[in-house]
A and B are shown apart, each in its own frame.
Chain A
Amino acid sequence: MLIQILLILAVVGLLVSFLRHHGKSRTAAGVKIGFALFMVFGVIAVLVPSATSALAQLVGVGRGTDLLLYGTVVAFGFATINTYLRFKELEHRYAKLVRAMAIQGAEKPEDRATGS
């Protein structure tokens, strides 16, 4: 079925491009465009339900709702990875900050030579 190929390609393609270019401004723009297209698609689906069904038939899915569901699943997975990577990046910056503070406040043994 066409839809299977499309879905798998979409998932793999998104994942690869994402992992490759994560954090670059072009990806950020790509995400926005993708999101905008998704929204437009949503509006069309609401206004002309038969359109999604027609599209679904075209790619080999039974109903338009199924097509929407598939699309949502892909988008959700994508968003999850995006969030995960963003958190990792943040964590890394946070670690650098903490490290700088820690090294700045280092206590040498000679500073407490009189201690127990």
Chain B
Amino acid sequence: MTDWSDVWLVIPVYNEGQVIADVVRNAMATFPNIVCVDDGSADDSAARIRTTGAHLVRHPVNLGQGAAIQTGVEYARAQPGAELFVTFDADGQHQVDDVVRMLERMRAEDVDIIVGTRFKSGADTSHIPWIKRLVLRTVVMLSPRTRRLGLTDAHNGLRVFNQTVAQQLSIKLNGMGHASEIVEMIDRRKWRVAEEPVTILYTEYSMSKGQSLINGVNILFDSALRTGSRR
């Protein structure tokens, strides 16, 4: 078995008490280093995480997923021996096999960050709810930057990156806008980026937790204003 001791999984957690322990245990079978960022959950997420072997970092108040990821990465990058970093969802949507494939590519290829995609040409997208597909496609079409970078899925939460990216990462948007913010950082900081087709499991649980499409409006608004206010 490959040694993944230089890999850190960053899992932002917000009210995922139902599933988080299973998700962490399942990932832990492969990856020894996991940090869960409990983003001010109101449920028993923290207690559940304590039953696993994951590191636990707790936001005393809820800030949002972007902020949680940033916290997790800042914690992980300070750990001795940390070389590769993974952002992983807490709701069980992401597959460990996909992560392993992405990590192997990271080690073999000259890239700084690999982003998961649901829409690589030829991929079967029939399992993705059509409205979600439509919105995600539209977002990519509306973003010249995403297309220029050759990305097909800007809002995939599964990412693998190296120290360079981890050190430079500074997510300012606390909420869900961080996905486009990361795309912008890839572009601006000239990180070498690649895509890897991944499978997202749309379980009933994850669907009930997933971000609403209305939130897309917030994301667009935040992104537009932030781009303008960049100093």
Q: Does B29 contact A (CB under 8 A)?
A: no
Q: What is the 8 Å Cβ interface bit string for chain B, positions 54-69, against chain A (1 contact, 0 not)?
A: 1111111101000100
Known: A101-B60, A103-B75, A116-B51. A95 touches B67 (CB 8 A): yes
Contact between chains at A19 and B59 (CB < 8 Å) = no
Interface residues of B, count at CB 8 A: 28
Contacting residue for B225 out of A20, A84, A91, CB 8 A:
A84
Known: A94-B63, A98-B71; 18 extra A-B contacts, CB below 8 A, are: A85-B229, A88-B226, A88-B229, A95-B70, A95-B174, A98-B59, A98-B60, A99-B59, A99-B70, A102-B57, A102-B58, A105-B57, A106-B35, A106-B75, A107-B56, A109-B54, A112-B50, A116-B51
Contacting residue for B58 out of A81, A94, A105, A109, CB 8 A:
A105
B residues less than 8 Å from A81 (CB atoms): 225
Interface residues of A, count at CB 8 A: 27
Give the interface of A toward B (CB within 8 A): 15-16, 19-20, 22-23, 81, 84-85, 88, 91-92, 94-95, 98-99, 101-103, 105-109, 112, 115-116
Q: By DSSP majority rule, is chain A's interface helix, strand, loop, or mixed?
A: helix
Give the interface of B toward A (CB within 8 A): 35, 37, 50-61, 63, 67, 70-71, 74-75, 78, 172, 174, 225-226, 228-229, 231
Contact between chains at A106 and B57 (CB < 8 Å) = yes
Contact between chains at B60 and A19 (CB < 8 Å) = no
Q: Which 7 A-B pairs have the closest CB atoms?
A: A19-B228, A107-B56, A109-B53, A95-B67, A99-B71, A106-B57, A19-B229
A residues less than 8 Å from B67 (CB atoms): 95, 98-99
Shortest CB distance B33–A (Å) = 10
Whole-angstrom CA separation of A22 from B227 in the bound complex:
13
Whole-angstrom CA separation of A72 from B97 in the bound complex:
59
Contact between chains at A103 and B71 (CB < 8 Å) = yes
Known: A115-B50, A115-B51. A102 touches B60 (CB 8 A): yes
A residues less than 8 Å from B226 (CB atoms): 88
Among B52, B59, B229, the one with the most A-chain Cβ atoms within 10 Å of its Cβ is B229
Whole-angstrom CA separation of A105 from B46 in the bound complex:
13
> Which of chain A's residues has its CB closest to B227's CB?
A19
Contact between chains at A98 and B172 (CB < 8 Å) = no
A residues less than 8 Å from B51 (CB atoms): 115-116
Contact between chains at B54 and A99 (CB < 8 Å) = no
> Which of chain B's residues has its CB closest to A92's CB?
B172
Known: A22-B229, A92-B172, A103-B71. A109 touches B55 (CB 8 A): yes
> Which of chain B's residues has its CB closest to A15's CB?
B228
> Which of chain B's residues has its CB closest to A101's CB?
B60
Among B37, B51, B60, B67, the one with the most A-chain Cβ atoms within 10 Å of its Cβ is B67
B residues less than 8 Å from A102 (CB atoms): 37, 57-60, 71
B residues less than 8 Å from A112 (CB atoms): 50
Contact between chains at A98 and B57 (CB < 8 Å) = no
> Which of chain B's residues has its CB closest to A91's CB?
B174
Shortest CB distance B38–A (Å) = 9
> Which of chain A's residues has its CB closest to B33's CB?
A109
Q: List 19 A-B pairs, Cβ < 8 Å.
A: A19-B225, A19-B229, A22-B229, A85-B225, A94-B63, A95-B63, A98-B60, A98-B63, A99-B59, A99-B67, A99-B71, A102-B58, A102-B59, A102-B71, A103-B74, A106-B56, A106-B57, A115-B51, A116-B51
